[in-house]
Amino acid sequence: MLTSDSCLSLHKHGSSMASDSNSSESQRIAQQRLRIIAGHLQKHKDDDSGTIATECKAEANKGTVPRKRQEIMKWNGWGYSDSKFLFNKKGQAEFTGKRYRLSGMVLPSLQDWFENTFGASVNHKSPATPALNASAVPPASLNEAFVEDLKATGIPFSHEAEDRVFRAHGHCLHEIFALREGKKFERVPDMVVWPNCHSDVVKIVELACKHNVCLIPYGGGTSVTSALECPPEETRCIVSLDTSQMNRILWIDEKNLVAHVEAGIIGQDLERLLNESGYCTGHEPDSMEFSSLGGWVATRASGMKKNVYGNIEDLVIHIKVVTPRGVIEKSCQGPRMSTGPDIHHFILGSEGTLGVVTEVTMKIRPIPEYQKYGSVVFPNFEAGVACLREVAKQRCAPASIRLMDNEQFQFGHALKPQVSSIFTNFVEGLKKFYITKFKGFDPHQLVVATLLFEGDRERVLQHEKQVYDIAATFGGLAAGEDNGQRGYILTFVIAYLRDLGMDYYVVAESFETSVPWDRVLDLCRNVKERINRECKERGVQFQPLTSCRVTQTYDAGACVYFYFAFNYRGLADPVHTYERVEHAAREEILANGGSLSHHHGVGKLRKEWMKESISSLGVGMLQSVKDYVDPDNIFGNRNLL
Partner 1 sequence: MSTVCASCLNILVFVTLQQRDPMLKRDGFEDILEERRNSSDLKYALRCYAPVLYKGVTPCKANMLKNIVLQSDQLRYVINQVSQESGEAPDIIQEEASVILEEMAHRLQISTVRFFAFALSKAFKTLFQHVCVNEEGIQRLQQAIQEHPVVLLPSHRSYMDFLLMSYILYTYDLALPVIAAGMDFMGMKFVGEMLRMSGAFFIRRSFGGDKLYWAVFSEYVKTMLRNGFAPIEFFLEGTRSRTCKSLTPKLGLLNIVIEPFFKGEVFDVNLVPISISYERILEESLYARELLGVPKPKESTSGLLKARRILSEDYGSIHVYFGQPVSVRSLAQGKVNRSTYNLFPRHIPRKPMEETQSFVNDTAYRIVRLQEDNMVLKPWVLMASLLLQNLEGMELSVLTEQTVWLRGLALSYAAFLDWPDHAPTAKVVSSSLALHRGLACVSGGRVSLVVGEPLGPVTPEEALFNRAVSVLSCASYRNQVLHVFLRPAMLAVAMHTAASSKKNEVYNCFSFLWDMFSNDFILCPGDTVQDFEEACYLLVKTGAVQMPQQDIVMTDIGQPTLSFFNGLLEPFLQGYQMLLPTLRSEHSVLCVFTGNLRCYEVLSSDMQKNALAALLRMDAVRKVKV
First-to-last C-alpha distance (Å) of the chain: 35
What string marks each residue from 530 to 569 as x (binds partner 1 by CB under 8 A) or -?
Answer: x---------------------------------------
**What's the closest the beta carbon of residue 390 comes to partner 1, in angstroms?**
16
**What's the closest the beta carbon of residue 619 comes to partner 1, in angstroms?**
16
Q: Does 442 bind partner 1 (CB under 8 A)?
A: no
Q: Is 317:361 a contact under the CB 8 Å cutoff?
A: yes
How far, in whole angstroms, is CA 296 from its chain's centroid?
Answer: 8
- Per CB under 8 A, the segment of 207-215, 306-314, 377-385, 585-593 that binds partner 1 is 585-593
Q: Is 579:152 a contact under the CB 8 Å cutoff?
A: no
Which of 88, 473 has the CB closer to partner 1? Answer: 473
Determine phi and psi for 392, rounding to 5 degrees. -65, -40
| Consecutive H or E run containing 346 | helix 344-347
| Consecutive H or E run containing 307 | helix 306-309
Rounded-to-integer distance, Cα 603 and Cα 607, Å: 7
Which of 493, 596 has the CB closer to partner 1? Answer: 596
**What's the closest the beta carbon of residue 293 comes to partner 1, in angstroms?**
33
Amino acid letter, 508: A
Q: Which of 80, 488, 561, 563 is catalytic?
A: 561
Rounded-to-integer distance, Cα 318 and Cα 94, Å: 44
Rounded-to-integer distance, Cα 89 and Cα 301, Å: 41
Q: For residue 522, what are the contacts with CB-CB under 8 A and spacing of at least 6?
A: 592
Q: Does 525 bind partner 1 (CB under 8 A)?
A: yes
Torsion of CA 618, 622, 628, 630, to 10 degrees: -150
C-alpha distances out from residue 116 to 119, 176, 255, 534, 542, Å: 5, 25, 56, 21, 11
**What's the closest the beta carbon of residue 121 comes to partner 1, in angstroms?**
30
Q: Does 519 bind partner 1 (CB under 8 A)?
A: yes
Angle between helices 48-58 and 198-211 in degrees, nearest 10? 120
- Per CB under 8 A, the segment of 38-46, 520-528, 561-569, 621-629 that binds partner 1 is 520-528
> What's the DSSP call for residue 438?
I
Tell whether 354 is in a known binding site: yes
Rounded-to-integer distance, Cα 569 and Cα 101, Å: 33
Neighbours of 23 (CB within 10 A): 9
Tell whether 356 is in a known binding site: yes
Tell whether 218 is in a known binding site: yes
Tell whether 302 is in a known binding site: yes
Tell whether 353 is in a known binding site: yes
Which of 330, 519 has the CB closer to partner 1? Answer: 519
Which of 474, 568 has the CB closer to partner 1? Answer: 474
Q: Does 526 bind partner 1 (CB under 8 A)?
A: yes
Q: Does 514 bind partner 1 (CB under 8 A)?
A: no
Give the total residue count for the chain: 641
561 catalytic residue (yes or no): yes
**What's the closest the beta carbon of residue 526 comes to partner 1, in angstroms?**
5
- Per CB under 8 A, the segment of 213-221, 238-246, 495-503, 518-526 that binds partner 1 is 518-526
Q: Does 518 bind partner 1 (CB under 8 A)?
A: yes
Tell whether 620 is in a known binding site: no
Q: Does 327 bind partner 1 (CB under 8 A)?
A: no
Tell whether 551 is in a known binding site: no
**What's the closest the beta carbon of residue 513 comes to partner 1, in angstroms?**
12
- Per CB under 8 A, the segment of 159-167, 357-365, 515-523, 544-552 that binds partner 1 is 515-523
Q: For residue 282, what are the contacts with CB-CB under 8 A and spacing of at least 6?
A: 303, 305, 308, 309, 315, 365, 399
Which of 4, 597 has the CB closer to partner 1? Answer: 597
Q: Tell how many helices (H) and how many strands (E) occur in the chain.
A: 21, 21
- Per CB under 8 A, the segment of 188-196, 313-321, 371-379, 584-592 that binds partner 1 is 584-592
Which of 606, 638 has the CB closer to partner 1? Answer: 606
Q: Which of 226, 371, 510, 592 binds partner 1 (CB under 8 A)?
A: 592
Which of 43, 525 has the CB closer to partner 1? Answer: 525
Q: Which of 523, 559, 585, 605 binds partner 1 (CB under 8 A)?
A: 523
Listed residue (151, 243, 236, 349) closest to 632, CA to CA: 236
Q: Does 21 bind partner 1 (CB under 8 A)?
A: no
Tell whether 223 is in a known binding site: yes
Which of 4, 592 has the CB closer to partner 1? Answer: 592
Tell whether 355 is in a known binding site: yes
Q: Does 593 bind partner 1 (CB under 8 A)?
A: yes
Listed residue (271, 360, 353, 246) closest to 313, CA to CA: 360
Looking at residues 82 to 121 of the shown chain, list those that interact with partner 1 (rule: CB under 8 A). Answer: none
Which of 109, 445 has the CB closer to partner 1? Answer: 445
Which of 429, 443 has the CB closer to partner 1? Answer: 443
Determine phi and psi for 404, rounding to 5 degrees. -95, 140
Tell whether 221 is in a known binding site: yes
| Consecutive H or E run containing 211 | helix 198-211
Q: Which of 186, 529, 573, 608 binds partner 1 (CB under 8 A)?
A: 529
- Per CB under 8 A, the segment of 363-371, 484-492, 572-580, 589-597 that binds partner 1 is 589-597
Rounded-to-integer distance, Cα 491 and Cα 355, Å: 31
* Furthest-apart CA atoms within the chain: distance in Å: 79
DSSP per-residue codes, 129-177: PSS--GGGSPPP---HHHHHHHHHHT--EE--HHHHHHTS--S-HHHHH
Q: Does 522 bind partner 1 (CB under 8 A)?
A: yes
| Consecutive H or E run containing 453 | strand 447-455
Q: Is 32:39 a contact under the CB 8 Å cutoff?
A: no
Q: Does 272 bind partner 1 (CB under 8 A)?
A: no
Reduce the DSSP state of residue 238 to 3 states and report it.
Answer: strand
**What's the closest the beta carbon of residue 516 comes to partner 1, in angstroms?**
8
Per the DSSP assignment, residues forming a β-bridge with 553 are: 558
Looking at residues 168 to 207 of the shown chain, list those that interact with partner 1 (rule: CB under 8 A). Answer: none
Looking at residues 596 to 635 of the shown chain, list those that interact with partner 1 (rule: CB under 8 A). Answer: 612
Residues of the binding site: 217-223, 299-302, 351-357, 498
Binding residues for FAD: 217-223, 299-302, 351-357
| Bind-site residues for substrate | 498
Residues forming the active site: 561
Residues near partner 1, by CB under 8 A: 518-519, 522-523, 525-526, 529-530, 590-593, 612
